[in-house]
Structure 1
Amino acid sequence: MHLEELRWFVVLAETEHVTEAAAELGVSQPTLSRALTRIEQKAGVALFDRVGRRLHLNEYGRIMLEHARRSISEVQAAMDRIAALRDPDTGRVRLAFLHSLANWYVPEQLRRFRETAPKIQFDLFQGAAHEIARSIVDGGSDIAITSPRPDPADFSWHRLYVERLCLAVPVGHRLAARTRVNLSAAADEPFVALEKPFGLRQLTDELWTDAGIDPQIVFEASEIPTMEGLVAAGFGVAVVPVPRDGTDARVVHVPLSNSQAKREVGLAWRRDRPLAPPSQRFADFLIEG
């Protein structure tokens, strides 16, 4: 089947509506419907369940969608690599990174890199560790700055730096005056935590287990600023990375003395796919510091 038809199928699968998909693609509804018929004939099975005028992607369609996205991504990656080989100072890097690195590390590295390679462009994806890993596997991103280290069987990895974790407590808390604290000292405290399967939540779960803590979790957040805000409001305490700047004056960050209270941040990319020249150049830049 043609690559263009695969692109049409992806849009149709995302909208689940022929009229909306045709408008977005700038093609007629009959043209799109005929393309879908050809794809389903080649697949040998219906990819959507028809309910009235709407379409609902079925289990066969979800398989096709996964591989269609991957095929489109592979062709785009090939085009990017060819373009980069023709002119190594241009090209595109599809970079994924953690939410918690968005306000300091990633912008600073992008600024520094663009001073040396101003013609290289970036497609950026910001997400949680599990979303980043899926983006790399599916081909939506080429390289990621993430934590913790993803599965070594599927990903190559280079550590960039290690940051310590701390206990965030509200001003006036009984542990706020400590210079360091073992997490076990907060065993009876209510905790604010990230949702599963965020990478920081995975590390926090491991720390709780090592400290023998069965935590009372009062709220599961989707980002660290929300955790900090709830700590400031007195809802509980939280395990967070040691802040770099712009900290909330209502929150005290007490370094944790636990030996495993640290987060390794590094570069990850697919083990079975060589990086395109622009991505390799960016990776080398970060690794060299």
Structure 2
Amino acid sequence: MLTVGVFGQFKDMRELGKKGTSSDITFYNYKQGDKIITYIEPTRYPDKIAPLIYTINMMDYALVFIEELTGELGEMLLALDLAKVERGSFVLGDYLDEELFNRVVKGTSMKNFDILNWDYIEIREKLLNINIERDLSYTKIPIDHYFKVKSVGTVILGKVEKGIVRVHDNLKVYPINREVMVKSIQIHDNNYNEAKAGDRVGLALKGIDAEELSRGYILSNKELKTYETIELDINWNPFKKKDIKEGESYQIICGLQNISCVVEEKVKLKLNKPLAYDDENIWLIDGSSKIRILGIGKIKD
């Protein structure tokens, strides 16, 4: 299974797949034989910056549609470059200024993206033949949606980011450190005994109520670190126009966790709720500013 983030000026996502779960991000699915492509659209972007970052954090591969270069597209390309995204394709319109486009992407992480025609059949065929090397060393499943189902109980949706999950596995939910058991596994509405890294799953869980969950919580069999205060080693957005100051409020996004914070020192942040951390990128966000992405980094040891 391949998870593709879709960005830019695409015309109709239904040309790529069948619509699935939808909120501020929307999933579309396409299946051919035993191969499945899951597309993620950052639906509430550009009104909100978080769906763009969630999509980048969840995807294996980027698909960027460009008809013209705009400020909104510039923010998308900046985000992909800050995240050092190297696997992806550009789909270019017939009237794009390619000389200007080449200058924009030169020197970025996207400089070696493939160039595709605006042909949905060609795009799907390209994506069906992409293979991603998966990490099976431990189980990790960030939760993107969750709800209660009558006669089933608590159900979560998420991509198996690492490892293998099996029915009757005992996992912990971070950052609340709650042990749960996997009662059942579904992949595209079919029941399975196990799912592996890359699969998008629905898991029925025993031992927790849906009301206790939050987007971004992580299911894992690895002992994850949790933090209430963090200090970042950060790569600043080169276009940001101000320095952060003590007492100011911002957001961080880590995986699918979105947490408000207050600056205590230069890049030392007091979080308003615990963060579960597994060495992912942490985005520092000012959602009310014209330059919304301040930088991206990791927690200092």
Q: Normalising to structure 2: TM-score of the pair?
A: 0.22
What is the TM-score of this pair, normalised by structure 1?
A: 0.23
Higher strand content, 1 or 2? 2
Higher RCO (CA 8 Å, separation ≥ 6 residues): 1
Which structure has the larger Rg over C-alpha atoms? 1
Q: Choose between structure 1 and 2: higher helix proportion.
A: 1
